[in-house]
Chains A and B, each alone.
Chain A
Amino acid sequence: MCTKCGCSTGSTAQQQASGAAVAHHDAHPHHEHPHHHHEADERRVLEVHQSLLAKNEHQAWHNRERFQQKKIRVFNVLSSPGAGKTALLERTLADLGGTQRIGVIVGDLATDNDARRLRRPGVQVVQVSTGTVCHLEAAMVARACEQLDLNALDLLFIENVGNLVCPAAYDLGEEQRVVLLSVTEGEDKPLKYPTIFHNADVVLISKSDLASAVEFARATALANIHRMAPRARILEVSARTGAGLTAWYDLLTPRAVHV
């Protein structure tokens, strides 16, 4: 089925890495039962050494391949609940919807409120209910893509489940990982969630219009983000006032002109 990487099903990870059985003899010395060297209930250790994320990474690889073929730029958008992911995307759709063909995959535990906020003419929106699962996985994105016309997209946003821990481990096949930190959350958050910040390509300091009201310690926040995510682009934005969004739009569509 999968000709690119040689996998048989498109879902099972490479399994050749598994090692040979190693007999575990210390409990039963050999000479006690020389004729039944491998009794059915003899305990033995199997060396495996396989990543728990191998299957997801394999699917993410396929997603990425597909997005690149279709020339779609894909952004995995992550944050705590309420940091402003949906608001940022609403504003982005309003501002860029006229010039870019945009799709959104929205992950949510139970409701479809966010999907309803994002739905508008000309924008393809797919809602993924994750139920009790606190993050999106590459396979969920692949299934959501079956409901999208990928040939008619320039940009695809994936609003992940609001959570700074679990989604960090799951590559979805995105081109860039965008992490939002709102000014109301506290400057030390990057230090508390190293994994998600470490893997960020872009960090957006959101709700910048509220910075002075909450006495946001800007310099400390910037220093903390820079320490945890040394390679990330850092932008300060407000979905409410539009401040800083030009730089965000430049990042989304580097070839387009927004001056």
Chain B
Amino acid sequence: MHEVSLLESALELARAEATRQGARRIHRLTLRIGAMAGVVPEALSFAFEVVTQGTLAEGATLEVIDVPLQCVCELCAHAFSPPVYPCECPRCGHPRARVAQGRELELASLEVS
């Protein structure tokens, strides 16, 4: 599962930031995950407990903010949010749209003490 690798990266970033800010415990990690990031949120929460065990984030809450897909038409520049990729422009019907948002895989914030 690459969810484990992703959470290990998240924890590495979190630990570095918490240490730099003089925090001793991490109570919450907030991730932003795009609809097209290829990540299953349920698999994340399952892996989270395993990955945080024995770390300064043990017992912490994982919060996932879903970032919806947003496309911009390459022809008419219309911006729209289709439920799934591919993005066909609802205004002009052009089949090619740039993915403007929805690929995010990001550690947004931490709650620490």
Contacts and interface: CB of A to CB of B under 8 A. Distances in A.
Interface of A: 15, 18, 21, 24, 40-56, 132-135, 137, 165-166, 168-170, 194-196, 198, 227-228, 230
B85 interface: yes
Contacts of B36: 194-195, 198
Given A40-B113, A46-B112, A49-B108, A18 B27 contact: no
Contacts of B17: 15, 18, 46, 48
Interface in B7-36: 9-10, 12-14, 16-18, 20-21, 23-24, 27, 31, 36
Interface residues of B, number: 37
B89 interface: no
B2 A50 contact: no
A196 B2 CA distance: 14
Specify the main secondary structure of chain A where it touches its partner: mixed
A229 to B, nearest CB: 9
Contacts of B41: none
A228 B109 contact: no
Contacts of A44: 23, 111-113
Contacts of B27: 43
A220 B16 CA distance: 49
